[in-house]
Amino acid sequence: MSKLYIDADACPVKAEAERVATRHKMPMLVVSNGGLRPSQNPLVETVIVSHGADEADMWIADRCGPGDVVVTGDIPLAAKCIATGARVLRHNGEAFSKANIGRQLAMRDLMADVRAANPLGVGGGGKPFTKVDRSRFLDALEREIRVALKSGQATVKG
């Protein structure tokens, strides 16, 4: 059965993802290092991993696969999930894919170098998360789940 995995640390769209997953009767795993209020929804499982760098990422990457959908803003995690055959979305609805993940990783590395070369820390901080981003995410998640279901990769029962 297909699952929806949420990289939950700092994820602004958990509630929206839960609504879409519930509509499709798709199990949702909310993975974090802790500090989250568990959902009362029987389709939602809260997974608390041990504290440490990338523990939640490793947990998700080790379990996701074809027919699953992963929501994360973490580009290295997205690359690992794509390699397993999972479909991957950012919180703003932008899809990660085999076609764009290499460019995304390269840009991430470049920006890390730019930040390191900025001794005063001037600028930075990304753009704020907006209602448009939330709406775009909902549309994209609905589309990704439907594609997974239609392609026959998913076996969600309704």
Which three-class secondary structure state does DSSP give residue 96?
A: strand
Tell the residue number behind the tokens 């009767």, with chain if given.
Answer: 25
Whether residue 138 is contained in a domain is answered as yes
**pLDDT tens, 33-63?**
988 889 999 999 999 998 877 899 999 999 9
CA-based R_g, the chain, Å: 16
As for how many domains the chain has, the answer is: 1
Whether residue 117 is contained in a domain is answered as no
Whether residue 112 is contained in a domain is answered as no
Average pLDDT over all residues of the chain: 86
The amino acid sitting at 1 is M
**pLDDT tens, 98-134?**
988 777 777 766 666 666 666 666 666 667 889 999 9
Whether residue 156 is contained in a domain is answered as no
Whether residue 75 is contained in a domain is answered as yes
Contacts 24+ apart (CB under 8 A), 75-83: 75/101, 75/104, 75/105, 75/108, 76/105, 76/108, 77/7, 78/104, 79/104, 79/105, 81/5
The pLDDT value given to residue 103: 78
Q: What's the full length of the chain, in residues?
A: 158
**93, pLDDT greater than 70:** yes
CA–CA distances in Å: residue 23 to residues 16, 69, 142? 11, 15, 10
Whether residue 54 is contained in a domain is answered as yes
- Which CATH number fits the domain that encloses residue 36? 3.40.50
Domain range enclosing 84: 4-97+131-150
pTM for the full predicted model: 0.84
> d(Cα 101, Cα 97) in Å, to the nearest integer?
6
